[in-house]
Amino acid sequence: MDRRQALQRAGLVLGYAISAPVIAGIMNGCKSTPELTYKPVFFTEEQAGLVSEVAAIIIPKTDTPGAKEVGVPAFIDQLIKQCYKKEDQDRFLAGLAEFDEGAKKAYGDAFMDLDPAKQKEYVKKTHDAALDAAKAGTVKDKPFILVAKELTVVGFYTSEEGASKILQYAPVPGAFHGCVPMAEVGKTWAT
């Protein structure tokens, strides 16, 4: 081997040694983040993304639209900004941060960086733990995941799609019949 070949091979080895970590760093930075379908007014973009994903897990898209598709994240954002007191807003944000921190402790990554299966698993795990704590009476305030679930369900069923496609909807339902078998009327009424 002459000097020229030695320098070429040393350059290749050095190039591979330097470029491998650089490429790995670039690829790690290329994780796709879900696009928001609205402009947040209360949350940061990151918080809005987290709320959107949690809502999508609580009411996923199937053959009917899910929470994300009917605008539940924007509903939650507006509701918290316009209707919550400052201390309730702070409590929600603290719960959101604690939820994300819990995902980091449980899985080593932020919630948004987890794969969908682990996200669902974590939501279920925190939901079950929150229900157990609520039943035992060991929590002072309602846990974040239960507040998020409540807001998601309210937002979904008060949306046009939720009220008209999931629930039975008639602008003027007609006469009141107090005792009718469910088999005769079908679904629950939205109005």
114 Cβ neighbours under 8 A, 6+ residues apart:
103, 107, 122
Contact in structure between 144 and 50 (CB atoms under 8 Å) = no
Q: Tell me phi and psi for residue 110, to 5 degrees.
A: -65, 155
Is residue 86 over pLDDT 90?
Answer: yes
Task: Please name the residues in contact with 88: beta carbons below 8 A apart, sequence gap of 6 or more.
Answer: 80
Give the confidence band of 74 by pLDDT, cuts at 50, 70, 90: very high
**pLDDT score of 131:** 93
pLDDT tens digits, residue range 94-136?
A: 999 999 999 999 999 999 999 999 999 999 999 999 999 988 8
Which pair of structure tokens corresponds to residue 160? 């046009």
Q: Taking 70 as the threshold, does the pLDDT of residue 148 lie above it?
A: yes
Q: Cα dist. 163→48, 160, 189, 190 in Å?
A: 24, 5, 8, 5
Statement: the pTM of the whole predicted model exceeds 0.85: no
Q: Which residue has the tokens 């005769």?
A: 184
pLDDT surpasses 80 at 153? yes
> pLDDT tens, 40-68?
999 999 999 999 999 999 999 999 999 99
Going from N- to C-terminal start, the domains of the chain cover 1-30, 35-158
Identify whether the C-beta of residue 161 lies closer than 8 Å to the C-beta of residue 183. Answer: no
Burial 108-135 (b: 16+ CB within 10 A, else e): eeebbebeeeebeebbeebbeebeeeee
Token pair of 19 as six digits:
């470029």
**Is residue 10's pLDDT more than 80?**
no
